[in-house]
């Protein structure tokens, strides 16, 4: 209702002012409503770290890894907070290497005449905040925007650097004078900003941090305290996380703050232009964000976008471009296809180091074109962020997805434990499968083991000899000397002469006159028949498997079970060690 009344009162005023403005020159129309924004900036000690390690530093990857490990320990080691063993071990064990690598980086920067402060996160913050303040001031001066900005910093505690002021460009000096110290107290910074915004029109907060909330209020207290207060007071909070890697920033907390208050969330690494995200945050909070384009442009190239559509009845248009270095140019065309720049009715363009701001008062309704020209860029091109906005309200603020859930990358220990766990799990599965297959095929293998058929051996009858009237000749006893006239075998060797033993077989001539004892079971009859030895039928026992093969099969079975037991033990130990290594179980003392 108040907004409608104000617009109704502006109609007659505009009717009187338009002829006067046509006589004295074009004067930008004032927006119906201005915005009140507080910048909440992190100035903790970690902001002194490089926003990006120089890519040509030989040990850049190793230094990045060790910094991440120590940063996770520092940020998560809060009283009462459970910390994984991997975070503690990774941070402490890598500390000597980190100190050595940091010394090497300092030497490298000194040799290349690079000031460490010039590549720090604080330096990136100062550049981005200056671009934002310049853009807001230009919108006030040339597009009639009635925006006011205040400045709050936080580390161990919060500090109000500047009260809300329409002289936005005057905040540049305090921003350039910021210094780092202490830890990260997000709750205190948000509470101080809400105090400044109490009773203000169209209030909003932009909070930028590079780490984790590690002092003052806990995360839950931040969400239930100042965040809940901001949501109840309709104060949207746009959060920006600045880090070399996603693990540097508590992305989930920043996303929760933005989601609960209706603001946006953005993660920015050292390669992206931070000023573009600050400008996009402010434009989405102070008005309606019409377009946001990100990309890379090379020298001589013009990166075209889909453009944007300006609704009818808008009083101002603001188009911004931000990039980290070199020289880019902003190309904008109106719905009629005319280039918008100096000399265009109601337009003003300002270029600075790494940014350009174009403002247009009373823009024509319709589809506008936007392109980014690479005037002078690096060999691989330059990253840029371009935005277009007008007065109004942004329906759906942009929120980045959490990258990697803020988790640490797999370290060498975790990789080895995962490898052992996976390999032992596969081996155990194969052994179980083989055992199961053996269990299924056992009946079929037993059926294949059939006994061999029985065979008989016939013993031929013995030679005839003299037993009574029956002729039967027994074989020569072993070692018995042959009698005279006993014919040796034809062609055989000469028979040895052996002295007869004192006690030997019955005396007599070995020949027809010698009568051996009757064979067992022989009964002489009246009619003597020739005697022949009875044939013997001997069953042959089926051949059984050799004991050696049975023993080898048993040994292989025992060996298989031994391998299985050892494998299962290794699987359990590796899985348990991985759980203890990566799960937050150790509570940091208060």
CATH number at residue 214: 3.40.50.410
In a domain, 21, yes or no: no
CA–CA separation, 169 and 148 (whole Å)? 11
CA–CA separation, 175 and 101 (whole Å)? 31
Decide which of 118, 133, 164 is a domain's last residue. 118
Structure tokens at 203: 């209030």
Spatial CA neighbour of 238 closest among 270, 279, 201: 279
Do 190 and 60 share a domain, yes or no?
A: no
Do 283 and 367 share a domain, yes or no?
A: yes
Find the largest Cα–Cα distance for the chain: 173
Residue 292 burial (CB count, 10 A): 20
CA–CA separation, 429 and 491 (whole Å)? 74
Spatial CA neighbour of 387 closest among 395, 401, 378, 398: 398
Do 101 and 237 share a domain, yes or no?
A: no
Do 295 and 422 share a domain, yes or no?
A: no
CA–CA separation, 204 and 149 (whole Å)? 10
Spatial CA neighbour of 40 closest among 136, 142, 175, 234: 175
Element (DSSP H or E) covering residue 579: helix 547-582
Q: For the chain, how big is the Rg over CA atoms in Å?
A: 50
pLDDT at 18: 34
321 beta partners: 356, 386
Do 60 and 199 share a domain, yes or no?
A: no
CA–CA separation, 18 and 140 (whole Å)? 19
Do 428 and 361 share a domain, yes or no?
A: no
CA–CA separation, 196 and 38 (whole Å)? 8
Spatial CA neighbour of 35 closest among 234, 321, 254, 176: 234
- Beta 382-390 vs 316-322: how paired, if at all? antiparallel
Do 176 and 296 share a domain, yes or no?
A: yes
CA–CA separation, 322 and 325 (whole Å)? 9
Do 81 and 209 share a domain, yes or no?
A: no
CA–CA separation, 66 and 560 (whole Å)? 44
Phi, psi of 543 (to 5 degrees): -70, 125
Decide which of 86, 118, 150 is a domain's last residue. 118
Do 567 and 424 share a domain, yes or no?
A: yes
Structure tokens at 154: 């936080």
What would the DSSP string read from start to end of 377-398? --TT-EEEEEEEEESS--SS--
- Contact 457/538 with Cβ under 8 angstroms? yes
Do 131 and 114 share a domain, yes or no?
A: no
pLDDT at 480: 57
Structurally, the chain folds into a number of domains equal to 3
In a domain, 170, yes or no: yes
Range of the domain at 101: 52-118
Do 254 and 194 share a domain, yes or no?
A: yes
Do 390 and 270 share a domain, yes or no?
A: yes
Decide which of 102, 118, 134 is a domain's last residue. 118
Determine the number of helices (DSSP H) and then strands (DSSP E) in the chain: 13, 20
- Contact 314/347 with Cβ under 8 angstroms? no
Structure tokens at 463: 């030679």
In a domain, 184, yes or no: yes
Low-confidence ranges of the chain (pLDDT < 70): 1-33, 71-72, 74-81, 85-86, 90-91, 404-412, 446-554, 581-590
In a domain, 214, yes or no: yes
């Amino acid at each position: 209702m108040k907004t409608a009344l104000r617009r109704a009162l502006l109609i007659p005023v505009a009717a009187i002012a338009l002829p006067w403005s046509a006589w004295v020159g074009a004067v930008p129309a004032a927006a119906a409503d201005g915005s009140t924004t507080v910048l909440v900036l992190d100035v903790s000690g970690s902001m002194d770290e490089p926003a990006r390690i120089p890519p040509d530093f030989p040990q850049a990857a190793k230094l990045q890894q060790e910094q991440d490990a120590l940063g996770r320990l520092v940020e998560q080691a809060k009283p009462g907070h459970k910390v994984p063993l991997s975070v503690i071990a990774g941070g402490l064990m890598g500390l000597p290497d980190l100190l050595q690598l940091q010394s090497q980086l300092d030497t490298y920067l000194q040799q290349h005449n690079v000031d460490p402060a010039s590549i720090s996160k604080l330096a990136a913050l100062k550049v981005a905040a200056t671009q934002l303040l310049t853009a807001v001031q230009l919108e006030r001066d040339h597009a009639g925007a009635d925006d006011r900005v205040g400045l709050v910093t936080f580390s161990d505690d919060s500090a109000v650097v500047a009260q809300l002021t329409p002289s936005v460009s005057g905040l540049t000096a305090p921003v350039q004078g910021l210094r780092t110290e202490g830890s990260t107290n997000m709750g205190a910074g948000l509470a101080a900003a809400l105090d400044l915004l109490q009773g203000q029109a169209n209030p909003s907060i932009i909070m930028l941090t590079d780490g984790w909330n590690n002092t003052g209020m806990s995360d839950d207290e931040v969400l239930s305290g100042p965040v809940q207060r901001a949501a109840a007071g309709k104060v949207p909070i746009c959060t920006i996380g600045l880090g070399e890697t996603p693990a540097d920033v508590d992305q989930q907390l920043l996303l929760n703050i933005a989601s609960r208050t209706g603001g946006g969330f953005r993660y920015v690494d050292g390669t992206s232009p931070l000023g573009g995200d600050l400008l996009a945050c402010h434009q989405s909070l102070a008005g309606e964000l019409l377009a946001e384009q990100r990309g890379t442009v090379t020298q001589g190239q013009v990166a075209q976008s889909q453009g944007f559509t300006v609704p009818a009845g808008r009083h101002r248009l603001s188009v911004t471009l931000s990039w980290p270095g070199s020289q880019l140019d902003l190309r904008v065309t109106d719905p009629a296809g005319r280039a918008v720049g100096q000399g265009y009715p109601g337009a003003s363009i300002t270029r600075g180091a790494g940014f350009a701001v174009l403002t247009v008062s009373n823009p024509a309704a319709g589809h506008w074109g936007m392109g980014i020209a690479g005037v002078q860029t690096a060999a691989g091109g330059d990253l840029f962020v371009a935005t277009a906005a007008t007065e109004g309200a942004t329906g759906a603020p942009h929120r980045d997805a959490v990258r990697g859930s803020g988790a640490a990358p797999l370290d060498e220990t975790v990789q080895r434990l995962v490898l052992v766990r996976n390999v032992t799990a596969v081996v155990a599965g194969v052994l179980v499968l083989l055992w199961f297959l053996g269990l299924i095929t056992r009946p079929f293998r037993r059926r294949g083991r059939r006994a061999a058929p029985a065979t008989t051996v016939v013993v031929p009858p013995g030679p005839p000899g003299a037993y009574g009237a029956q002729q039967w000749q027994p074989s020569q006893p072993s070692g018995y000397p042959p009698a005279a006239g006993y014919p040796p075998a034809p062609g055989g060797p000469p028979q040895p002469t052996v002295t007869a033993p004192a006690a030997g077989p019955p005396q007599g001539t070995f020949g027809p006159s010698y009568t051996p004892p009757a064979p067992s079971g022989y009964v002489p009859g009246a009619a003597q028949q020739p005697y022949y030895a009875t044939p013997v039928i001997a069953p042959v026992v089926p051949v059984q498997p050799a004991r050696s093969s049975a023993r080898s099969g048993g040994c292989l079975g025992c060996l298989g079970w031994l391998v299985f037991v050892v494998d299962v033990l290794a699987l359990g130990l590796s899985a348990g060690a991985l759980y203890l290594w990566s799960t937050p179980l150790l509570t940091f003392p208060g």
